[in-house]
Amino acid sequence: LYGDDDPDVLARCFTPQELLDVGDDADRLSRLAARFAAKEAVFKALGGAEGISHTDIEVVRTVTGAPEIRLHGPAAEL
């Protein structure tokens, strides 16, 4: 994932909680890429709406470990 070592790029693409959730081990890049792909799929499902940022779409884990999408701001309003 381009920008893995660039905090500004990471902050534009992922919420602080997502960055904590992916950890810092060897699988970090795979987890970031999977979350980014999920965000892109949701963005497309929303019609590619203008004004929605990557951080408006958040991928979180439930207590069972299953992924869940949470929408914030303009994404939630749409």
In this predicted model, what pLDDT tens digit does every residue of 4-26 receive, in sequence order? 568 888 999 999 999 999 988 88
3-state secondary structure of 3: coil
Question: pTM here?
Answer: 0.86
Instruction: Tell me the C-alpha distance between 29 and 26, whole Å.
Output: 7
pLDDT for position 63: 92
Who contacts 75 (Cβ-Cβ below 8 Å, separation ≥6)? Answer: 42, 46, 49, 52, 56, 57
CA distances from 37 to 13, 23, 58 (A): 11, 18, 11
